[in-house]
Structure 1
Amino acid sequence: MEKIQHSHVEVRGLKLHVAQINVSGKKAVMFLHGFPEIWYTWRHQMIAAANAGYRAISIDFRGYGLSEQPAEPENATFKDVVDDVIGLLDSLGINKAFIVGKDFGSMPSYLVAAVHPERVIGVITLGVPFLIPGPSAIQNHLLPEGFYVTRWQDPGRAEADFGRFDVKTVIRNIYLLFSGSEVPIASEGQEIMDLYDPSTPLPPWFSEEVLSVYASLYEKSGFRFALRVPNR
């Protein structure tokens, strides 16, 4: 990972953390992370893209990791992260790019392509289908009340649930819960973190070292913005 370069780029009044490799590549690929992910999620894909000749870019969204927090995160929307992507392309002097999004990073990927098609070569997404933006987008999927998406829409609930643990434990719990073969559903009176079994080992693709990197970045940013965008 020593070839990946790190910097902060001012975009719309905030300094966003940007990781890049092969900055002289003729075409750019911008990777957009999900939750509870970060620029680091894409480290292997960045190197593969760079080896194929592309300029590979991975960012921490505003309010995440090493990027600055907005003054009023409770008022943030997906439009903020869409505008940040376009502002970052402008700041880096990139006219058009491939956009790759995973989890909630898929949403700004779709929206950038829809609103600014002239800036996009192509879009790749993982995990989330295209949804028409709006307050009913999630509810229309008839998710059960005990599913995390539904639970975390309730202001203050996830904050109280997460607040019982240190950041590293929260990250560990989420990855273990959501990487199983069954979707975790909390029963009445349970919170999402209550579903965690501390005897469950980390999967082979998620080592203690990797967990520590994620935890250190979320210790820096906290969950305040993340529980607004994407969860509310």
Structure 2
Amino acid sequence: MDKIEHKFLQINGLKLHVAEIGSESSPAVIFLHGFPEIWYTWRHQMIAVANAGFRAIAPDFRGYGLSDPPAEPEKATFTDFVNDIASILDFLAISKVFVVAKDFGTMVAYPFVLHHPEKIAGIVTINMTFMPPAAFKSHPLPEGFYVTRWREPGRAEADFGRLDVKTVVRNIYILFSQSEIPIANENQEIMDLVKPLTPLPSWMTEEDLAIYGDLYEKSGFQTPLQVPYRSYMSLGPAEEVPKVEAPMLVILGEDDYALKVPGMHEYITSGDVKKYIPNMEAIHVPHGTHFVHEQFPDKVNQLILTFLDSNKHHSKV
């Protein structure tokens, strides 16, 4: 961990934080986090790929972690995040890159890959595959579904505001590590789904939680609630379903609650996804949860490294 360097880059009018390890002459891998994550979620993967001869780069999205928030967080969009990633790579003079993305990070990766196919050596997604708006039709979920609640302006702010930031992050990690979709009853808030003495997942330490808690204390939840939850419709026209030609590996935790979203597992495991990503392989990790890369880092690292090595020839400019 001590070898990971931290840089602040002036990007699109903001100071964005980037964690980095590995030689600048090595093939580059950029890691795109989800929520409630920051660059730190990739600590195990960054060290593993750097030790294997790659350059690992993990930014905090704008408004997350140590990166500056946008001037008007309530107007932030996925497009802002996509533009930031392209600008970070330009700033670092990286013309070809492997993209590793988790959760909503895949929604940043997808338009980035489509707009910059010449920059892409390969793609790994964790617990989510690419889903063009026209491709996946989600089925209605109850009003108490956490995504529905967090899209409602002010609802999550009031819910989170009853607790200290570290407890909010703790609760979300506990909820998202379970195999059932977080759904509250009509007279219950999402934070009430976690009993106060519920332990952290076994793979997460209090020290890990403290790092997440400190950085969300700094950033707050304003931008994270906007992107992804309140700006989902900014992902683009539903009728546009272009193909991704780059090789892609999808790593799925078998017990991830997200696979229980109606229609999700069917979409990923059916042939439908191959219409959009013909060169795709999906691997299930037994007992893996939504945070499979932190839960089983050795297993996930091995899958990523095998993919990187087999596609290394694509990383040459």
Smaller-chain TM-score range? over 0.9
User: In the aligned structure 1, how far is the partner of 2:129 from the partner of 2:141?
Assistant: 15
Equivalent residues in 2 for 1:71-150 (5 A)?
Answer: 71-133=71-133, 140-150=138-148
Runs of 4+ in 1 over 4 A off after TM superposition: none
Count of aligned positions = 230
Supply the AA of the counterpart residue of 2:47. I
User: In the aligned structure 2, how far is the partner of 1:155 from the partner of 1:221?
Assistant: 18
Q: Of the candidates 180, 183, 196, which is equivalent to residue 181 of structure 2?
A: 183
User: In the aligned structure 2, how far is the partner of 1:188 from the partner of 1:34?
Assistant: 27
Q: Match for residue 16 of structure 1? A: 16
Supply the AA of the counterpart residue of 2:216. Y
Q: Per-residue displacement from partner, 1:36-86 (whole Å, max 9, x unpaired)?
A: 000000011000010111110001000011001110111111000000000
Equivalent residues in 2 for 1:137-176 (5 A)?
Answer: 140-176=138-174
TM-score where L is the length of structure 2: 0.70
User: In the aligned structure 2, how far is the partner of 1:138 from the partner of 1:147?
Assistant: 18
- In the TM superposition, residue 128 of structure 1 has moved relative to its aligned partner by 2.2
Supply the AA of the counterpart residue of 1:77. T
Q: Match for residue 36 of structure 2? A: 36
Greater C-alpha Rg: 2
Q: In percent, how many aligned pairs have the same letter?
A: 63
| Counterpart secondary structure, 1:98 | strand
Q: Is the 1:110–1:123 contact (alpha carbons within 8 Å) kept by the matching residues of 2?
A: no
| Counterpart secondary structure, 1:231 | helix
- Alpha-carbon RMSD: 1.5
Please list every run of 5 or more consecutive structure 2 residues that lacks an aligned counterpart in the other structure: 231-317
| Counterpart secondary structure, 1:229 | helix
Please list every run of 5 or more consecutive structure 1 residues that lacks an aligned counterpart in the other structure: none
- In the TM superposition, residue 109 of structure 1 has moved relative to its aligned partner by 1.1
- In the TM superposition, residue 145 of structure 1 has moved relative to its aligned partner by 1.7
User: In the aligned structure 2, how far is the partner of 1:52 from the partner of 1:141?
Assistant: 42
- In the TM superposition, residue 133 of structure 1 has moved relative to its aligned partner by 4.5
| Counterpart secondary structure, 2:223 | coil
- In the TM superposition, residue 139 of structure 1 has moved relative to its aligned partner by 7.6
| Closer/same/farther in 2, CA of residues 10 and 23 from structure 1, 3 Å limit | farther
| Closer/same/farther in 2, CA of residues 139 and 75 from structure 1, 3 Å limit | farther
Q: Match for residue 207 of structure 1? A: 205
Higher deviation after alignment, 118-127 or 2-11: 118-127
User: In the aligned structure 2, how far is the partner of 1:140 from the partner of 1:204?
Assistant: 32
User: In the aligned structure 1, how far is the partner of 2:111 from the partner of 2:124?
Assistant: 12
- In the TM superposition, residue 138 of structure 1 has moved relative to its aligned partner by 8.7
Q: Per-residue displacement from partner, 1:135-189 (whole Å, max 9, x unpaired)?
A: xx99844232211111111111111110000000000000111111222210111
- In the TM superposition, residue 114 of structure 1 has moved relative to its aligned partner by 1.2
| Counterpart secondary structure, 2:229 | coil
Supply the AA of the counterpart residue of 2:7. S
User: In the aligned structure 2, how far is the partner of 1:122 from the partner of 1:111?
Assistant: 14
- Please identify which structure carries the higher helix content: 2
- In the TM superposition, residue 200 of structure 1 has moved relative to its aligned partner by 1.4
User: In the aligned structure 2, how far is the partner of 1:51 from the partner of 1:131?
Assistant: 32
